[in-house]
Amino acid sequence: MKIEEARETLKHIGEHIKVHDGHGLIYSAQLVGALEIADAAMEKQIPKEPNDKCEYLKFKSGYCPNCSTSVCGINKYCPTCGQRLKWE
Ligand SMILES: [Zn+2]
């Protein structure tokens, strides 16, 4: 299963849970919160191109598209927020 499919599946579950919110299901708010955290974590696994990418003498650099930390080509993930990076 691809990350996009997993996100879509959890989104459907989240919508179903929300329908039943306020009907005495104490755990539902916790589940919605957990699904939101899972979704944010999965989104960071989808590779994104760094902003303002540049290359000088095979040294690639740029800025994390999620938190703007300065990143370079050896970083597969942003060292600050964990966003997966796409260099090619
Ligand atoms: Zn980042």
Band (pLDDT 50/70/90 cuts) for residue 31 is confident
User: Is pLDDT at 79 greater than 90 in this prediction?
Assistant: yes
CB within 8 A of 56, min separation 6: which ones? none
- Domain map (residue ranges) of the chain: 3-43, 47-88
Question: In terms of DSSP bridges, do strands 51-56 and 70-72 run parallel, antiparallel, or are they unpaired?
Answer: unpaired
Average pLDDT, integer, range 12-17: 76
CB within 8 A of 34, min separation 6: which ones? none
Ligand 1 centroid to 80 CA: how many Å? 5
Ligand 1 centroid to 78 CA: how many Å? 5
Ligand 1 centroid to 31 CA: how many Å? 26
